[in-house]
Amino acid sequence: MSELFRVEGLSHSFRDGTEAFSNIDLSINDGEFIVIAGRNGSGKTLLARHLVGISTPTKGKVIFRGADLRGDVKALRRSVGFVFQDTDSQILGQTVAEDVAFGPSNLKLSPSEIMTRTKEALAEAKLSGAEERRPETLSGGEKRRLAIAGVLAMRPDCLILDEPFANLDLESVNDIVRICGELEKSGITLIIVTHELEKILFLAHRLIILDKGEICFDGKPSAAAPELFAAHGLACPFEGHFPWTYPQP
Amino acid sequence: MNPFAFEPLDSPLANLSAASKAIFLICVSTAAMSFSPIPLVLLIVGGLLLMPAMRIPFKGMGRAGAAIGYLALFSAIVRGIFPGDGRVFAVETLPDSGLYAARLAAVFVFARVYYVSTKASELGDYLSAAARGIAGFFRKNEGRSIVLSDPGMMVSLSLLFLPRVFENYRRVKEAAELRGYGIRRNRLAGMLPMLQTFVFMSIKGALAAARSMELRGYSEDRTISLRNFSRLDIALAASGALLLLLAGLGI
């Protein structure tokens, strides 16, 4: 497996001096399925933003396929897709098909290739038949799947989903989990940022827990002790534990 | 707000090129400004019959239609009031005012047909293609490059963003009302924090959209696929030109 990302001594401080995280080292390989978890404010979304080059490190660097992200991010844009928690702001088309075609049209592909990719991405996200619908008429789950389709149409090597299960009902959660399962089989690198571990951890190869700006755990999910989750503000996703190990308020 | 009320596949006109429909709209509007009353009435009736035939609903025309009605009424009052001979209103100005109102009505009907059957982005793509053509012309013939960014994307984003701004305003207002805004007589004091939140939300939304575009590799050289003119497109543009010719002949 080749190395996709290498994070070296990454630190991020806000303008008021608050340190989000400091000196983080991390390596992510092609084909991995990683869940980044942690309590609210632990820095997990910020870490994901650094991986796609939309936040600037205070110290350290992120290296994508051997190249420092502080240089050219064009290769990253072609290879790494990011789905925000707030999918509304990610929708850029007047219709579902137009929105999905936005990314491929920026890759300067031929119109027929754009159409092919759009159809394939919509089928992967189970949105075939909704091509001409206006995005604002979609449900929350459908919007999330549309955001995923919009990124998949660019055929990325890596997909990062930020809180993909937030505000979704069970059926929509299952749809997202199923899409993740299919993407994992296709060999794409998947990074899921969430604290809802019970929904997705069973599919993941690797779990990273962030707390107070530090990596507290990085390894196989099965190697994580049940107590570890509660200690870092997370519900234990293992059978027989959830939700009883969750600390009482 | 967004005049493009495109509901795809609702109308066979949606399958025609935005450019041929624009040519027809320009021709028909120009002709309506010169037609005598009988052809003008026929044009309006034709437009109104075209709407159900092309599965375009009348619903949604009320407010805009009323606004045009007010405009025509205002124009009629201004035209006829106090003619200077001691009368309050000159009744003989009404036929001309009626003709003006009919011309506005004709343009309104065909503009409505255009907007509900045309994607804003399709029209935007024509704008971007035209901008690229102009830039290419200057580069080739004048030996200098001019900067013309992507007007099509600007149109598309504006039309996408405007409804979101209104939605943000509605949310902020509802949240404020639920917390007592409007109970006090002095609404101004409560309005300032509301406006502040509204502006902040709008800027945040714009930044999020820009960030999304960046993450999806937005480039001004993006692929633009323009629809080829079909025979129906040519027929539509030609019928517009014919109407213009008839108007030019004084019909």
| B179 and B138 housed in the same domain | yes
Return mean pLDDT, chain B. 85
CB pair distance less than 8 Å for B217 and A78: yes
| B168 and B111 housed in the same domain | no
For residue A242, is pLDDT > 70?
Answer: no
| B231 and B113 housed in the same domain | yes
Give me the residue from A89, A102, A109 closest to B205, CB to CB: A89
Per CB-CB distance under 8 Å, the chain A contacts of B211 are 54, 89
Cβ–Cβ pairs < 8 A, chains A and B: 82
pTM: 0.77
What pLDDT digit, counting tens, does each position of B120-133 carry? 788 888 888 888 88
Q: In this predicted complex, what is the ipTM?
A: 0.72
| B209 and B138 housed in the same domain | yes
Q: What is the DSSP letter of B118?
A: S
Top-confidence residue, B118 or B235 = B235
Flag the least confident range among A25-34, A149-158, B105-114, B199-208.
Answer: B199-208
Give a three-class secondary structure readout of A130-159: CCCCCHHHCCHHHHHHHHHHHHHCCCCCEE
Give the total number of structural domains in chain B: 2
Give me the residue from B121, B157, B222 closest to A98, CB to CB: B121
- Flag whether B3 is in a domain: no
Substitution target from B212, B219, B225, B227 for chain A, most A beta carbons within 10 A: B212
CB pair distance less than 8 Å for A52 and B159: no
Q: How far is A106 from chain B (nearest CA, A)?
A: 4
| B102 and B56 housed in the same domain | yes
Flag the least confident range among A157-166, A182-191, B115-124.
Answer: B115-124
Provide the edge-to-edge strand list for the sheet that holds A214-219. A80-83, A158-162, A189-193, A33-37, A206-211, A214-219
Q: What is the percent of chain B with per-residue pLDDT over 70, rounded to a whole number?
A: 92
Q: What is the DSSP letter of B137?
A: H
Mean pLDDT of A211-231: 91
- Flag whether B77 is in a domain: yes
What does the alpha-carbon distance between residue A219 and residue A231 come to, in Å, rounded to a whole number?
A: 17
Domain that holds residue B115: 12-120+227-248
What does the alpha-carbon distance between residue A158 and residue A53 come to, in Å, rounded to a whole number?
A: 14
Would you place residue A244 in the very low, low, confident or very high pLDDT band (cuts 50, 70, 90)?
Answer: low
Amino acid present at B27: C
3-state helix, strand, coil in chain A (%, to 5): 35, 25, 40
For residue B244, is pLDDT > 90?
Answer: yes
What pLDDT digit, counting tens, does each position of A75-105 carry? 888 899 999 988 887 888 888 998 999 989 8
- Flag whether B112 is in a domain: yes
Q: What is the percent of chain B with per-residue pLDDT over 90, rounded to a whole number?
A: 37
CB pair distance less than 8 Å for A95 and B8: yes
Top-confidence residue, B158 or B182 = B158
